[in-house]
Amino acid sequence: MAQITTTAEADNVLVEWDNRYAIGIPLIDDQHKELIQLTNELYKSCLAGDEAARANFGTAVKGTVDYVKYHFSAEEKILENVKYPEIGEHKRQHEVFVKQVLEDVQNFQEGKKFVPNVFVRFLKDWILSHIAVMDTQYAKYIQNLKKQGALDSAIGI
Ligand SMILES: [Fe+2]
């Protein structure tokens, strides 16, 4: 019996952007797309197990961490500007995630217990579930402000 392979797996892509991940704020959706793209690049670099792949992974992981930080601070700035009531919990989730990622990256750099494949899947799962739950929650709040005409246009979203 032929094995069933999804298009994504056939292309060595871990996760493909799907419009069901969109929260309806173009600036944030674009950043989420970029995060997914970076996760896929990391995934690709862990498919081959040689020295070069390890070096690639090291570079890619740094770029991903930088982008994650950039994205979180952009998001938090928006949440501050719209006075999102749940901002504290949202920020806390970001912090816990960054702490975990930095710990994993440090283990990787020090050659300690670190499995790239497990790490990349953790990134993917966290990002997708964070978008689906936490980001969707604030998006609803922002859409409501918009409906009421209470969204300050200076915020730029
Ligand atoms: Fe978030």
pLDDT, greater one: 107 or 51: 107
90-148 pLDDT tens trace: 999 999 999 999 999 999 989 888 888 899 999 999 999 999 999 999 999 999 999 99
Q: For position 111, what pLDDT does the model report?
A: 87
- Write out the two tokens for 54: 């390890």
Q: For position 1, what pLDDT does the model report?
A: 46
* Rounded average pLDDT over 56-69: 93
pTM: 0.89
Report the separation in Å between the CA atom of 107 and the middle of ligand 1, taken as the mean of its atom positions. Answer: 25
Of residues 22, 21, 20, 18, the one with CA closest to residue 7: 18
Report the separation in Å between the CA atom of 1 and the middle of ligand 1, taken as the mean of its atom positions. Answer: 43
Report the separation in Å between the CA atom of 46 and the middle of ligand 1, taken as the mean of its atom positions. Answer: 26
Report the separation in Å between the CA atom of 111 and the middle of ligand 1, taken as the mean of its atom positions. Answer: 30
Q: Which residues contact 151 (CB under 8 A, 6 or more apart)?
A: 82, 142, 145, 157
Of the chain, the percentage scoring pLDDT greater than 70 comes to 91
Report the separation in Å between the CA atom of 125 and the middle of ligand 1, taken as the mean of its atom positions. Answer: 13
Q: Is 145 exposed, middle or buried (0-12, 13-18, 19+ CB in 10 A)?
A: middle
Distance (Å, whole) CA 138 – CA 84 = 7
